[in-house]
Chains A and B, each alone.
Chain A
Amino acid sequence: MSELHDPPTAQQLVESVREWLESDVFPQVEGRLQFHTRVAMNVLAMVERELELGEEQNENYAAGLAAFQCSSEAELAEKIRTGALLSQEAEVEEFVMNSVIQKLRVANPKYLRDE
């Protein structure tokens, strides 16, 4: 696939800013500003992971929703609430757990427990 935009990629650009925060800014600041710098580094790392994984995750999520005859996440939520999917309860729970794990792989992979 051809890309319109020249290198670096969006992921590489974000990475460069995160690295600058880590190496040049973070060691120079303290207290509240240091805390907010750490938050900023974490946010950028999250964006990098989403740029890497997000597209495929979205496609898989849509396919998984379709398997339960849902065209959107909102529809799945509604069907769980009303009990319309009770006959497939175990499958639904497994799918939702997996989708939550996919979100954590981007948001905070360290949070996942080894199982």
Chain B
Amino acid sequence: MESIPSTPAELSLAITAATGLDGISQLRRLTGGASRETWSFHVGKEPHIIQRQRLTSPRDMHVEVGVLEAAYAAGVPVPRVLASSRDLVGDNPVGTQFMIVNAVAGETIARKILRDDEYASARKTLPAQFGSALGKLHRMNSAVDGLEDVDQIAFYQEHLRDCGQSHPAFEIAFRWLEENRPPVGRRCLVHGDFRMGNLIIGNEGLRAVLDWELAHIGDPAEDLGWLCVRAWRFGGAGPVGGIGAYEDLLEAYGEASGEYISLETLRWWEVLGTVKWGLMCISQAAYHLTGSVRSHELAAIGRRVCENEYDALLAIRELKKGKGSTRV
């Protein structure tokens, strides 16, 4: 197999060979995550983004390409897919699966969106825009191949059993989640990681929803609950991404989708999301502890697990008392 183009000059040539995009300039690497790398470049004056899978990544990026195209067609604000390895005939000069999208200008850093003056008016409209975008997403008709529907409780219980640690708080949470599980809802495409950090925000509001890697088939309330997990409030007061009230999200969601999710159901999914993020913190620390990546940042995340234990137990205590509508 040919080597994977790694320098900007090599990658630039490979992109042109693969897609016919000519006159590429300003190609530079933005981030290198565990599963993929992201580069930005210009074609003429138009800013583009290319994401390229790592060889070791187990995911199929072509599923994500299909999801993005379907979401775009349904009117969900997402970057537009301009080219991808899915549509190649023959060799892939870029080396691994890739997709190229138009770059959407704006801010993703939650602390800025939550605090800076230029987003003051956006903060008022965002909770409703989140509800509306999710409502459109969950109502789209087009089927996308390759998406899984996994029982969220069973999946994460197994995760807890296999992580090599004991967490009595999460056992209490799973017990409560099982006993209070809402009736199984409609199945639809869910984003899987819809939260501050994965959303591009402008001073007028939501511009694009990014990072569709974890999209799957599930209950529509899953995305809403995840958005309200305290970790994604980044210190902000409102439960919806740190800026809004539950009611604003639910109302806009109902208007866009025709489906009114109860606060009780939303909060159940928030508790599940809290446990899920706690378990994901264990996994992140494990990358360091097992030596696959050495990083004090990842190591420190292991000590954030208890934040999620605390939030889950607090929420359960509150919900048991019937204080489901509290705005904390």
Q: Are B172 and A107 in contact (CB under 8 A)?
A: no
Q: Does A112 contact B (CB under 8 A)?
A: yes
A100 touches B296 (CB 8 A): no
CB of B174, distance to nearest CB on chain A (Å)? 8
Q: Are B313 and A93 in contact (CB under 8 A)?
A: yes
Do A96 and B313 contact each other (CB < 8 Å), given the known contacts A77-B168, A104-B307? Answer: yes
Q: How far is the CB of A51 from chain B (nearest CB, A)?
A: 14
Q: Is B303 part of the contact surface with A, judged by Cβ < 8 Å? A: yes
- Determine if B299 is an interface residue (Cβ-Cβ < 8 Å): yes
Query: What DSSP secondary structure best describes chain B's contact surface?
Result: helix
A80 near B168: Cβ-Cβ < 8 Å: yes
**Cα of A104 to Cα of B314 in the assembled complex, Å:** 14
Residues of B55-76 at the interface with A, using a CB-CB cut-off of 8 Å, are: none
**Contacting residues of chain A (13-49) with chain B, CB-CB under 8 angstroms:** 36, 39-40, 42-43, 46
Assess the B166–A77 pair: CB atoms within 8 A: yes
**Would you call A43 and B168 a contact (CB within 8 A)?**
no
Q: Which of A55-114 contact B (CB under 8 A)?
A: 72-74, 76-78, 80-81, 83, 92-93, 96-97, 99-101, 103-104, 106-108, 111-113
Contact A43 B299 (CB under 8 A): yes
Cβ–Cβ < 8 Å partners of B304 in chain A: 107-108
State A111–B314 Cα separation when bound (angstroms): 12
Q: A113: which B residues are within 8 A, CB to CB?
A: 314, 328
Interface residues in B137-194 by Cβ distance below 8 A to A read 166-169, 171-172, 174-175
Q: Which residue of A lies closest to B311 (CB)?
A: A111
- List residues of chain B with CB within 8 A of the CB of A96: 168-169, 172, 313
Q: Which of A77, A81, A111 contacts B310 (CB 8 A)?
A: A111
B313 → chain A, closest Cβ, in Å? 5
Contact across chains for B172 and A92 when beta carbons are under 8 A apart: yes
Are B172 and A39 touching (Cβ within 8 A)?
no
Do B306 and A104 have beta carbons less than 8 Å apart?
A: yes
Count of residues in B whose CB is under 8 Å from the partner chain: 22
A77 CA to B175 CA in the complex, in Å? 11
Are A108 and B307 within 8 A (Cβ)?
yes
> By the criterion CB–CB under 8 Å, are B296 and A76 in contact?
no
Residues of B near A78 (CB, < 8 A) are 166
Contacts of A77 in B (CB 8 A): 166-168, 171
Q: Which residues of A contact B299 (CB under 8 A)?
A: 43
Chain B residue nearest to A110 (CB atoms) is B235
Task: State whether A74 touches B166 (Cβ < 8 A).
Answer: yes
Residues on B with C-beta less than 8 A from A107 are 303-304, 306-307
- B171 and A81 contact, CB distance less than 8 A: yes
Docked CA distance A108–B311 (Å): 13
- What are the residues of chain A within 8 A of B300 when measuring CB–CB? 39, 42-43, 46
A64 to nearest B CB, angstroms? 11
Task: Output the least CB separation between B229 and chain A (Å).
Answer: 14
CB distance from B58 to the nearest CB of A (A): 27
B309 interface hit (Cβ, 8 Å): yes
Check B297–A36 contact: CB distance below 8 A: yes
Distance from B278 Cβ to chain A, minimum over Cβ atoms (Å): 11
A74-B166, A96-B313, A100-B169 known, 20 other contacts, Cβ within 8 Å: A36-B296, A36-B297, A39-B300, A43-B296, A43-B300, A46-B303, A76-B166, A77-B171, A80-B171, A92-B172, A96-B172, A97-B313, A100-B313, A103-B306, A104-B307, A106-B303, A107-B306, A108-B303, A108-B304, A108-B307
Chain A residues packing against B (C-beta within 8 Å): 36, 39-40, 42-43, 46, 72-74, 76-78, 80-81, 83, 92-93, 96-97, 99-101, 103-104, 106-108, 111-113
